[in-house]
Structure 1
Amino acid sequence: MTSSATRRENDLWLLETLVPKTAVNNLSVVFEVTGRLSAGILHRALDDVVRRHRALRTVARVGERGLELDVREDVEITLDVHRVEDEPAVGEERLRRCIAQPFALEGGPLLRAALFSGTERDTVCLVAHHLVFDAMSGGVVLQDLVTAYEARAAGASLPDTFAEGLWLPEREPSAESLEFWKRHLDGYRADGLGLWCDKDGDPAVTLAGDVHHHVLSPEADAAVTRLRRALRAPKAVVLLSAYYLTLALHGAGPDLVVGVPASTRDTASQQAVGYHVNMLPLRSRLGADRTVREVATEVRAAFFEALAHPDVPAETFLPQDRGDRPAWRNTLFRHVFNYVPTDFRNTFTLAGLPAVQRLVENGTSKYDLEFFASESADTALLSVLFNTQVLDAADVTALVARYDELLARLPEELDTPVGRLSCWSGADRSAVPAAEPADGPDSLYEAVRRTAESAPERIAVRTRAGDLDYAALWRHVTAEQAPALDDERAAGAVTALRALRQDTGAAPAEGEASG
């Protein structure tokens, strides 16, 4: 049965046309077993799973009418078997290369598999195209694969429950949901999406991405528990609120939309495999006078209302006029937050062999920054995916450290205005040894002044035109007529520091110009 692609499906295809021969739409399920698997049994179990789920028997082809999808009665999935010589298990880089192989939309299957046999452990890597798969599909497919493998290994029949899997057809957004999102985004202008640490990037679009893993500190984890009680909010809302605040303290906002993925499955269709997720544009106002409590309360209300209206994809509200924005960049939001209340390092057994899931990214990033929060036995884990054309790894590492420390302080800062929050981390304080952040809003200005005196050669701003040390930065700040700078971010730093001096009435230092 052939059908034309929906708008969401076409958007996935169009993204691939911008970055051809990449894995931008590739998703994966990777797990490692201690011991050896039978390649033959694994292949037959894969066939069982594919026959069960209609989405996995769907192929795509680009024809005269654009992207077309066709559901086949039978699709043959390949299983590539690799020996990993002299290694206990396959390394992450090799898995990433496996995942990064693109699918050709020429009528072939949109799922493939590989088995890597090590000296001590075997690793299975399933790769699927987003057209037929999403994160929740991964859990269903893994569970089905375990069931089918164990039945085949025991020479038994598949259980009666292993019948035709659930199929969830695309549904049209309800009028109520469309009205809600129109109200939610009324008056929104995507002018405040940039961060101070963003870079211009290479004009040749690659969507190259990297990932930074972070375990929440005990202090931040304890703060989350306190904030849940104080705000009467779930963990997802607490972590999301801190994400908004961190973005605001790095230059985004004050009117800010963050993308939050939500499943469109209802209670009866949780086991459906396919592309059943919409990115929801959650909005928050982060004006300098708003308190942390007010921001978190707004985020909580928006979060629950959004989950009640997940049937409208964010693409519905993308502005038609993109201005001078590049074609690949989302014009509604650039930052994403995803919370899954489970540990992605799921442990299980497969035919009696201990097994554990591994999280391996595909090496691309559709968004500037994505926080993926998941649970472990005792804390939250952050997998922070970022676009390397927009952000440097060092800046992302610093931003995540500030997020952690901000989160740890929030229980005592609930009634503090956003404009008076500090995003300094321990690493920042170490980098500016002369800075003893004061209670007043002039602490940054004073910190730069003291550092210019005590460590004038320390780098303050890095630009494409060269580095700016604290001595040079201070000369620009205190000059009667600040010379033009080659880099907008450096100019922004000077402007912000000069404004701090004016707004707080900070007295000029000895020898400082009065302008």
Structure 2
Amino acid sequence: MLSPASAIQTAMWVESLEGDDPSLYNVTAGWFFESAIDVQRLRQAFTELVRNHSILTSRFVIESGCLCFESTDAAAMGAETDLVRTEEHAGPLSLRSAQDWVQTCSAHPFDLETGPLVRLHIRSSSGAVAVALAAHHLVVDAVSFEHLVRELGQRHAGKHAGMAFDPVPGYGVFVEAQQRFLQGHAAQEARAYWSEYLAPLASIERRAPFGRWREQQPLQERRQLAPAELNRLLRLSAQLHCTPFQILSVVLAGCIGEAAALSLVCIGYPISLREPATAAVIGPVLNTLPLLVRTGAGNGERAALIQAARDDLLMALEHVQLPFSELTKAFFVAHQQPARDLVAGVVSFVVRASSDGVNPALDGQGAVNISPLPVSPKFPVSLHVVRQGSDMLIELESVPLGRTQAPLTARRLMEALADLLDECLLETS
């Protein structure tokens, strides 16, 4: 049975087909076991998982000019679907080699027209085992992927042997709610709000600082916040009644503005649209909110910018249901502009349970989490903030930025980000 795709699915489907990287929207989790595990039980747990969530076996097709998805009964799927890939590794399997292998698994593309859009990879060698669970973003978001990871671990541990998991609402529940919203008066109000809010972008020329950024290879840099920095960041969040997101958004916007000579930068804020009726839905139930941040603030002014970002976010949450593709379309139509990239950078958060790398979803079986960090290929600059217990890791992914000076690489941008973060923390302490 064909079901209409959501707005976010349609946008990702187009991006997947037009982009050069077929694994653009792959989402992957990985684990390393230093001792042998019951691989057959893991395969069985994964099969049961897929049968419990039909969207994972979806294929995407165009029907009457609209993108639709169709799920296949996992029990009826043949071996050619390649749901599970197993292999023996000739040499010793180390943690480092397992991490590299998981990255390779993540790069394997999915066939969107035939499905399924989930796959389990298993590599064994001399007792050690590496496991990678990969899915396409068309059928999962961060929340639902974590749910799948947890359920896989529970099934493998045998906690639910002989028991059926509670049925979860199908993704159609979210799509139907979104279609009802788009046909109502609230959607018109949201279009008007975003067109007016984003109006300052109409006069900003964006081509020079970013160029043909989709054709450039992004560079990555990481920085672990020192305990003192993290404590100051959390204290500042409490003092200004905001989240670390608003603080880091302002800092990132300042770096981009300085590098690209922009006085106003649009920062993307990925946000979940889950409500009680869709809390357990497997699929992309999310949106991206574009927030405007002014740059070039002097000493003592960044606190005001942070508070402004907080206030903008609170107002934007009243219109969060309008899909990003729809709000940008409303902006282009209202201001009679051709479609172009509006968001310069995005800030996202990943929360992991502990700093020791052990994933509790695998129920104490000694699995070390070697999951790669997510990527945001839609934006020139992406800032990922990973909370692991009491630690915070910042990963910056950026294409080279600049106008007349030498391009600002991810390394230089990370250094500037660290300096601005220090300044922001000091001037408001």
TM-score range, shorter chain: 0.7 to 0.9
CA distance in 2, matches of 1:219, 1:194: 39
Are residues 1:396 and 2:410 paired? yes
Contact 1:150/1:350 (<8 A) preserved: yes
> In the alignment, which residue of structure 2 is the partner of 1:82?
87
What is the deviation of 1:210?
Answer: 4.5
Contact 1:201/1:389 (<8 A) preserved: no
Give the number of aligned pairs.
Answer: 402
What is the deviation of 1:272?
Answer: 1.9
CA distance in 1, matches of 2:160, 2:271: 39
What is the deviation of 1:301?
Answer: 0.9
Are residues 1:156 and 2:161 paired? yes
Give the secondary-structure state (helix, strand or coil) at the position aligned to 1:157: coil
Identity %: 19
Contact 1:340/1:374 (<8 A) preserved: yes
1:209 to 1:8, Cα distance in 2 relative to 1, 3 A: same
Contact 1:24/1:362 (<8 A) preserved: no
The one-letter amino acid of 1:72's match is: T
> In the alignment, which residue of structure 2 is the partner of 1:295?
305
CA distance in 2, matches of 1:83, 1:363: 29
1:226 to 1:28, Cα distance in 2 relative to 1, 3 A: same
The one-letter amino acid of 1:368's match is: P
Are residues 1:372 and 2:384 paired? yes
Unaligned runs of 5+ in 1: 416-515
Contact 2:249/2:267 (<8 A) preserved: no
1:419-439 Cα shifts (integer Å, max 9, x gaps)? xxxxxxxxxxxxxxxxxxxxx
Are residues 1:94 and 2:64 paired? no
CA distance in 2, matches of 1:180, 1:155: 48
Are residues 1:169 and 2:169 paired? no
CA distance in 1, matches of 2:269, 2:427: 25
**TM-score, with length taken from structure 1:** 0.69
CA distance in 2, matches of 1:285, 1:411: 18
What is the deviation of 1:146?
Answer: 1.1
Structure with the larger RCO, 1 or 2 (CA within 8 Å, 6+ apart):
2
Are residues 1:139 and 2:146 paired? yes
Are residues 1:186 and 2:195 paired? no
The one-letter amino acid of 1:52's match is: N
Contact 1:223/1:408 (<8 A) preserved: no
Contact 2:28/2:134 (<8 A) preserved: yes
Contact 1:209/1:364 (<8 A) preserved: no
Contact 2:250/2:293 (<8 A) preserved: no
Unaligned runs of 5+ in 2: none
**TM-score, with length taken from structure 2:** 0.82
1:1-35 Cα shifts (integer Å, max 9, x gaps)? 21343443222222223225621121112222332
What is the deviation of 1:299?
Answer: 0.6
1:362 to 1:293, Cα distance in 2 relative to 1, 3 A: closer
> In the alignment, which residue of structure 2 is the partner of 1:109?
116
What is the deviation of 1:155?
Answer: 9.0
> In the alignment, which residue of structure 2 is the partner of 1:437?
none
What is the deviation of 1:315?
Answer: 1.5
CA distance in 2, matches of 1:79, 1:394: 42
> In the alignment, which residue of structure 2 is the partner of 1:347?
359
Contact 1:33/1:123 (<8 A) preserved: yes
Are residues 1:5 and 2:15 paired? no
CA distance in 2, matches of 1:110, 1:207: 27
What is the deviation of 1:110?
Answer: 0.9
The one-letter amino acid of 1:239's match is: L
Contact 2:9/2:138 (<8 A) preserved: yes
2:293 to 265, 284, 288: 284
> In the alignment, which residue of structure 2 is the partner of 1:250?
259
Contact 1:265/1:276 (<8 A) preserved: yes
The one-letter amino acid of 1:134's match is: D
The one-letter amino acid of 1:367's match is: F
Contact 1:23/1:363 (<8 A) preserved: no
The one-letter amino acid of 1:101's match is: H
1:67 to 1:217, Cα distance in 2 relative to 1, 3 A: same
1:78-104 Cα shifts (integer Å, max 9, x gaps)? 211122322224443332222112112
What is the deviation of 1:66?
Answer: 5.6
The one-letter amino acid of 2:87's match is: H
> In the alignment, which residue of structure 2 is the partner of 1:314?
324
Contact 2:402/2:408 (<8 A) preserved: no
CA distance in 1, matches of 2:36, 2:402: 42
What is the deviation of 1:388?
Answer: 7.0
1:201-233 Cα shifts (integer Å, max 9, x gaps)? 68xx65644432221134432331332243122
Q: CA RMSD, aligned part only?
A: 3.3
What does 1:300-449 align with in structure 2 at a 5 Å threshold? 300-318=310-328, 319=332, 331-343=341-353, 345=357, 347-348=359-360, 350=362, 352-360=364-372, 365-387=377-399, 395-414=409-428
1:366-406 Cα shifts (integer Å, max 9, x gaps)? 32110011212323111223347999998212211221232
The one-letter amino acid of 1:42's match is: L
The one-letter amino acid of 1:294's match is: A
1:295-329 Cα shifts (integer Å, max 9, x gaps)? 11111112233344321222213336765x8xxxx
> In the alignment, which residue of structure 2 is the partner of 1:450?
none
CA distance in 1, matches of 2:208, 2:225: 23
1:32-90 Cα shifts (integer Å, max 9, x gaps)? 23322222211211121112223223222356736331133336462111223222244
1:283 to 1:309, Cα distance in 2 relative to 1, 3 A: same
| Structure number with larger C-alpha Rg | 1
> In the alignment, which residue of structure 2 is the partner of 1:29?
29
What is the deviation of 1:130?
Answer: 1.4
Higher share of residues assigned helix: 2
